[in-house]
Amino acid sequence: MSPPTALLDDLAAAGDVVVDADVLEAYRRDQAAPGLLPAGVPAALVRPTSTGQVQAAVRAAARHGVPVVPRGAGSGLSGGANAIDGCVVVSLERMTEIVELDAEGLTATVQPGVVNAVLGDAARAAGLFYAPDPASREFSTIGGNIATNAGGLCCVKYGVTRDALLTCEVVLADGRTVRVGHRTRKGVAGYDLAGLVCGSEGTLGIVTEATLRLLPAPPPSSTLAATFPSVEAAGDAVVAIVRRARPSMLELLDRTTLAAVQALEPLGYEEDVEAVLFARSDAGHEAGAREIALIQELCDAAGATLSVVTDDPDEGRMVTVARQLAYPALERRGATLLDDVAVPVPRIPRLLTGVQEIAREHGVLIGTFGHAGDGNMHPTVVYDQRDTDQVRRARAAFDAIVALALELGGTVSGEHGIGLLKVDHLDAELGDARALGRAIKDAWDPAGTMNPGKAI
C-alpha cells in the first residue's frame, strides 16, 4: 500500500525521504533473533542531517498520527529498531558530525550518527579516552549507544554510556527540542532527565546531539588469561577478583564458546578447558603489574590450571583474541538468540551452572561469554531457524535464562535493551514500578507515537 500523499508532502522538509520498497526492506529490523520478532513495513524512511530536519519528520508524523521509529546503525539485538506497519523510520545515519572535542574541558559533543570507534579514535588523537566500548563499537553509533545505555569490556572500571553522558538534545514527540543534563561534572538542578533518556530506546524522543565525558588516556595495560577446570571455579575467581582488585577488563568464556572459537580459529587451548578468564589492568606500569599479579594469585587459588601474563600491548591483544571472536564464532554455528542478563557478582557461579542445566534440559546449544566483572553475561542460544522445534526450544531456553537471572536477584537486560525481545518479562522484574515508567512515557509522548510497544 502506498503511503498517503499528504504525509509525504509533510515529510518533504525532513531531508531525504525514501518510499522504495527494496530500500525500506533493509530498514525494517535490527539484528535481533532472526524469525522470532515482528517487523512491520514502514510508510517511509527519512534520513535527516540536522536537528531541524528531525523536528520536521516528527512533526509531520504527529500531524498524521503515524508512529515514529528512530534508528541508528541497526545493530541492536533486542528489536528496539524494528519497524511498525505504516510508521516513519527516522534514521540518524547521516548525522555524523563531531561538533566539538574540548580537550581542556574533557568533553566531546557529537551528532547521534557518529560511530563509537570514530569518537574513540578522535579522543585518542587528542590524548584522551572515551570509555564505553561495546563489542559493536566499530559500527554502532553514539545515538544507539545512548538509546540502550550500552556498556562494553571497559565498563567494569569506567562505567556504561550513562556514566559518560553529560547532556543531550532531544526532539520530543510533538517536534519540540529540549536539552537535558548538565555540561558541568556535577549538577542536581531538576530531575536527571539525561539519565532518563539514556536507555529509553527512542520511546521518549530522538537524541540529535550529545555531550559526552572524556577521560585522560590510561597508561599501558597488563593482561592475564587463565583457564579453569569448571565454570564454577572461574566464577569463584571472578568473585574474589572483584572483591580485591579493580581491573579495567574482566571477561569470561565457557567451554561451548571456546570450542566455537577454536573451530573458527585454532588458538591452542587444551580440550579439557571448561572456562577461560581474561583480565586487564591499566593502573600503570608498577601498580598494574602488582594488580595483575594479585589477579593471577586469586585465579590460582580458585583452581586455575594455567595462567599467562603479559605487559606488552600487542601480546595482550593476541592473548584476548578469543574474547573478540566469541560471538562471531557462535554465529557460525547457526542463528543466535543472544541474551544479556546481569546478576550480582557473587551469584555468577550459580548463573553459569544454571545456564548449563538449561542447555541440557532443553536440548540446545548455549555458549556463555561476557562481562563477568560486573555480572553481565551473554548466554547465547544457537539454533536452526528453519526447524520449528529448534526455534521453540531456543525460545524456551532463552526464557528460562531470563527467569534464572531474576531468581538470582538480577535483571533481564544489562546493556542490550528491552526492545520487543524482553518486553514480556518486564512485569516479573519491575512489578508496580512498571506503571511509573508508563506514566513517564505518557507524559513525554501523550499520543504514544514514539517507538510504541518497545522498552516499557
Residue 343: closest CA among 365, 370, 362? 370
Evaluate the CA torsion angle 76, 163, 450, 436 in order and state its sign. Answer: positive
- The class that CATH gives domain 334-445 is alpha beta
Residue 62: closest CA among 84, 80, 44, 87? 87
**Do the beta carbons of residue 421 and residue 78 sit within 8 Å?**
yes
Q: pLDDT category, 450, cuts 50, 70, 90?
A: very high
For the question of whether the overall pTM of this predicted structure is more than 0.75, the answer is yes
Q: pLDDT category, 57, cuts 50, 70, 90?
A: very high
- List Cα–Cα distances, 201 to 265, 269, 366, 420, 453, in angstroms: 35, 40, 27, 11, 11
- Partnered with residue 383 across adjacent β-strands are 335
**Do the beta carbons of residue 346 and residue 317 sit within 8 Å?**
no
98-216 is a CATH 3.30.465.10 domain: yes
217: DSSP letter:
P
Q: pLDDT category, 1, cuts 50, 70, 90?
A: low
Per domain, the residue ranges of the chain are 5-91, 98-216, 219-325, 334-445
Helix H or strand E segment including 391: helix 388-407
219-325 is a CATH 2.60.40.10 domain: no
Fold: same for 5-91 and 334-445: no
Evaluate the CA torsion angle 450, 451, 454, 455 in order and state its sign. Answer: negative
CA distance 413 to 395: 16
In 328-375 the beta strands, taken as DSSP E runs, fall at: 335-338, 365-371
Mean pLDDT of the chain: 96
Give 381-431 pLDDT, tens digit per residue.
999 999 999 999 999 999 999 999 999 999 999 999 999 999 999 999 999
**Do the beta carbons of residue 380 and residue 368 sit within 8 Å?**
yes
pLDDT at 33 > cutoff 90: no
Give 115-157 pLDDT, tens digit per residue.
999 999 999 999 999 999 999 999 999 999 999 999 999 999 9
5-91 is a CATH 3.30.43.10 domain: yes
DSSP symbols for 280-304: EE-S-HHHHHHHHHHHHHHHHHTT-
CA distance 123 to 259: 36
Q: What is the mean pLDDT of residues 12-20?
A: 95
Question: What are the grid coordinates assigned to 425, written together?
Answer: 518479562
389: DSSP letter:
H
